[in-house]
Amino acid sequence: MKKSTKRVVVGLSGGVDSSVAAYLLKKEGYEVIGMFMKNWHDESVTISNECPWMEDSTDAMLVAEKLGIPFQAIDLSEAYKERIVDYMFSEYKQGRTPNPDILCNREIKFDIFLKAAEKLNADFVATGHYCQKDTIQKKDKVVHRLLAGADPNKDQSYFLCQLNQEQLSKALFPIGHLQKSEVREIAKAQELVTAEKKDSQGLCFIGKVKLPDFLQQQLKPKRGDILMIPAESPVYQKKMVHVGEEQIEELQLPELESLCIPNTYSSDLGEKVGEHKGAHYYTIGQRKGLNVGGTGKPLFVIATDTQKNIIYTGLGEDHPGLLRSGLFVPSKDLHWIREDLRLEPSQQARFLARIRYRQPLTWATLHMKDKGCYILFDEPQRGIASGQFVAWYDGNETIGSGTIY
């Protein structure tokens, strides 16, 4: 009796990575369906020559035609607005720094899109992400592991750090074992129209967005003060800036909070050096767009207050306001890909961690408490911003993640 063929729906984005993913799956004998996700209709905030959706949709269709696989487009713009765009506006309004790509993977590609694929009786969904997956048996239970992509320059496991076991069980990452150069070679050999197409740098399935224009749809410009906080400000006096591994286990909750909760600034701590057009347009660590001259060293954003519409800045790359030894993730914002490795209150564990894509992994200690997880880095981290995601790893495996307080 002939073995039944597994059906997989590939999210064809119109880029080279998803194109090659579809080719490899077909080559392996899967029944492949290509599907393009249309997530955005408003062209006024995208840069027309940078990855417009119509061009992408056409390229995706041409790839499907070349590979001889069925193709369809699906309009997910309503769900995308509710789950991603509204979330972005809400976060920026509160002075936080969201990562829409991580949410897009959790809420759109591996939820809404996955459900659409299941209606087509698909066994799996596949994407062109540079990451890998394997499956192990642990105490009679199947556990799916999210692993880094083989290409260290393209590893995208960070963007998938909010996936759960159910989502991973349905996910395939066909190009995760390849280098980017190998992917392009395969595309050229198969004469795929996307072979030489440059990578999109924009929001998930939208294209490159002019972020200020995008935000101004709901968050209107509002003039406010730019204040400069001196490096010797008393707000930094009680902050350790380096925590060695030998000190970490001795820290009590008040010390953890001092190290991991963001600094609180007030207008009486600094001097006015300029004005801005809206505190919600700026993020921690930002240098460009302040338009303040005559300071000698460059100014960096170290905090924003969207309630009072104030931007706090520090002078120079070594300003203490840019560096923090730790961060805090409230319990409600903690996510474990490996539920079997979840820490309980009062437990500690050492993991590698990062707070942004392509940031080198660095050692950190997770302190689990009743209120959430305090994460202390061995070396101070630059530009930790509320709303970002921190992800932690065991070697090349992503173990969990959380939204930074």
Whether residues 117 and 152 share a domain: the answer is yes
Whether residues 137 and 240 share a domain: the answer is no
Question: What is residue 250's predicted lDDT score, i.e. its pLDDT?
Answer: 66
Whether residues 176 and 232 share a domain: the answer is no
Task: CATH number of the domain at 36, please.
Answer: 3.40.50.620
Specify if 384 maps to a domain. Answer: yes
Whether residues 197 and 225 share a domain: the answer is no
Among the three residues 161, 185, 214, which one is the final residue of a domain in this structure? Answer: 214
- Residue 69 CA to residue 163 CA, distance in Å, equals 28
Whether residues 202 and 251 share a domain: the answer is no
Specify if 1 maps to a domain. Answer: no
Ranges of residues in the chain with a pLDDT under 50 are 1-3, 48, 51, 205, 241
Task: CATH number of the domain at 289, please.
Answer: 2.40.30.10
Whether residues 173 and 261 share a domain: the answer is no
Among the three residues 159, 194, 214, which one is the final residue of a domain in this structure? Answer: 214
Spatial CA neighbour of 155 closest among 380, 386, 340, 393: 393
Instruction: For residue 367, give its domain range.
Output: 220-403
Specify if 328 maps to a domain. Answer: yes
Specify if 2 maps to a domain. Answer: no
Which residue numbers are catalytic? 104, 204
Whether residues 197 and 231 share a domain: the answer is no
Whether residues 19 and 80 share a domain: the answer is yes
Whether residues 159 and 19 share a domain: the answer is yes
Question: What is residue 200's predicted lDDT score, i.e. its pLDDT?
Answer: 73
Specify if 94 maps to a domain. Answer: yes
Number of independent structural domains in the chain = 2
Whether residues 341 and 241 share a domain: the answer is yes
Residue 80 exposed, middle or buried by CB count within 10 Å (0-12, 13-18, 19+): buried
Whether residues 67 and 44 share a domain: the answer is yes
Question: What is residue 244's predicted lDDT score, i.e. its pLDDT?
Answer: 54
Question: What is residue 78's predicted lDDT score, i.e. its pLDDT?
Answer: 92
